[in-house]
Amino acid sequence: MRAYQRLLQYVKYDTTSDENAPESVCPSTAGQKKLAAALAEEMRRLGMAEVRMDPHGYVYASLPADCAEPQPVIGLIAHMDTSFSAPGKNVRPRIVRGYDGGDIVLNAEKGIVMHPSEFGSLADDKGMDLIVTDGTTLLGADDKAGIAEILTTVEALAEKHVPHGKIAVAFTPDEEIGRGAERFDIPGFGADFAYTVDGGKLGQLEYENFNAASADVTVKGFSIHPGDAKNRMKNAVLLGIEFNSMLPPAETPAHTEGREGFYHLMSFSGDEEGAVLRYIVRDHDCPRFEARKARLRKIAAYLNEKYGARFTVDLRDSYYNMKEKIEPHIEIVERAEAAMRAAGVEPRIVPIRGGTDGAFLSCRGLPCPNLPTGGHNFHGRFEYIPVQAMDKMVEVLVNLVRAPAEGREKTKGH
Ligand SMILES: [Zn+2]
């Protein structure tokens, strides 16, 4: 079976996760467990061992070693849920065979068209068979393509008699709402190191992500009849504006890229009596990340001095850059680079401007860089993936877990 055939099966399941579900509920939506059960069944059919689904919908399985020499246990991870940013129900995928490089009409009736001028990746995918949506839903290649590629790899290892060490496989719920790594059973998984297969473009290899925090700035005002307000009113909305104006104007998402960090004002609500500014703070660099948080506190301290204690800053760290945790094990990144090159794919290391389950897992002690799936335009109606990119990723994953040949230097275990 080819990877894309699996993907076409998995996208029939509605697994949209729900960010508003209470933290105690996992998975956040029942549909995820249906896919989880189907995947557990499929892994049993593929002859995998230790197949189990836990009460939270995490699915684990392993493929026993098939190799004389001892090898490290390599983990492969993908997530089952899809983003809430676009509908994930009634996904009707279509394959555009031998893409001609022109416009793709996703939905003639609704006039939804994908133009190469708006989506630059299409130029590279000329001649490929593209799996697209009907323009009303996302596709769910993020991250069902990752699942499809991992299970097709498992199948290919047996078919092609590829020597490999023990492989641990896990599929997680609720990644898109940032909870996928929370209940992950690292000891039970038993991998020495792992890879999430959850990235985009072929060749992209990621092991750096943001350090992330949220900051809620609460402003207490003093309201009084505007006619009698001179020297007395403290309008919380205006104080909030003053707070924000003290942040560097160019350090926002709209002005930054690569490894540049930012403050992002996500919402601002209130009246004269009180106001709340909700920020997220991001930076790849740890000292600069700390400095950003310190700046928010300093601005509040300065304004509290000026107006009397009216500002409170509630800072919470969300996740950290995995780079620090990966660099001591850089050979696992090199292993992925070699696996890509052997499949004719040039690796490109890029910093993620976000987080991944792998970042959480790395911080919890399981080093876990992120590999691509080959898909594009995740989280929206223009999501698509080339069939051939999925085949390529299977080749990459087979190379990745293949035991080094006799006489070559062995990859160290940890
Ligand atoms: Zn994803």
342 Cα to the center of ligand 1, angstroms: 25
pLDDT of residue 406: 59
Tokens of 329: 């094990």
pLDDT(413) > 80: no
Of all helices (H) and strands (E), which one includes residue 38?
Answer: helix 31-45
298 Cα to the center of ligand 1, angstroms: 36
- Per the prediction, the chain carries an average pLDDT of 95
Cα-only R_g, the chain: 24
Q: What is the largest CA-CA distance in the chain?
A: 88
Rounded to whole angstroms, the Cα distance separating 327 from 71 reads 21
5 Cα to the center of ligand 1, angstroms: 19
- What's the rounded mean pLDDT across residues 208-219? 96
- What's the rounded mean pLDDT across residues 53-58? 97
Q: How confident is the model at residue 408 (pLDDT cuts 50, 70, 90)?
A: very low
Comparing CA positions, the residue from 160, 188, 187 lying closest to residue 66 is 160
Rounded to whole angstroms, the Cα distance separating 256 from 282 reads 11
CATH code that applies to domain 211-319: 3.30.70.360
> What is the DSSP secondary structure assignment for residue 254, as one 8-state letter?
G
Q: How confident is the model at residue 405 (pLDDT cuts 50, 70, 90)?
A: confident
pLDDT of residue 182: 86
- What's the rounded mean pLDDT across residues 274-298? 97
Q: Which residues participate in catalysis according to the annotation?
A: 81, 175
**High-pLDDT (> 70) share of the chain, %:** 98
User: CB-based contacts of 29: which residues, under 8 Å, 6+ apart?
Assistant: 14, 15, 16, 17, 18, 21, 81
Rounded to whole angstroms, the Cα distance separating 35 from 90 reads 15
198 Cα to the center of ligand 1, angstroms: 5
- 386 pairs with which residues across the strands? 130
Q: Which pLDDT tens digit goes with each residue over 80-138?
A: 999 999 999 999 999 999 999 999 999 999 999 999 999 999 999 999 999 999 999 99
- 170 pairs with which residues across the strands? 60, 77
Q: What topology does CATH give the domain 3-208+322-401?
A: Aminopeptidase (3.40.630)
295 Cα to the center of ligand 1, angstroms: 32
360 phi and psi angles, rounded to 5 deg: -65, -45
- What's the rounded mean pLDDT across residues 309-330? 94
Q: Strands, DSSP E only, in 300-410?
A: 311-319, 348-349, 370-372, 385-386
Residue type, position 162, single letter: V
pLDDT(407) > 90: no
Q: How far is CA 340 from CA 30, 64, 221, 230, 367, in A?
A: 36, 24, 58, 69, 19
Global pTM reads 0.87
For residue 27, say if its preceding peptide bond is cis, omega within 30 degrees of 0. Answer: yes
Higher pLDDT residue, 413 or 341?
341
pLDDT(411) > 60: no
Rounded to whole angstroms, the Cα distance separating 157 from 227 reads 79
Instruction: Give ion ligand 1 contacts, CB < 5 A.
Output: 142-143, 198
Cβ–Cβ contacts within 10 Å for residue 350, how many? 18
pLDDT(40) > 90: yes
147 Cα to the center of ligand 1, angstroms: 11
pLDDT of residue 354: 84
pLDDT of residue 412: 43
Tokens of 383: 């999501």
Q: Strands, DSSP E only, in 14-166?
A: 49-53, 59-63, 74-79, 94-96, 104-107, 112-114, 130-132
For residue 143, say if its preceding peptide bond is cis, omega within 30 degrees of 0. Answer: yes
143 Cα to the center of ligand 1, angstroms: 5
Cβ–Cβ contacts within 10 Å for residue 65, how many? 16
Please state the domain extents for the chain.
3-208+322-401, 211-319
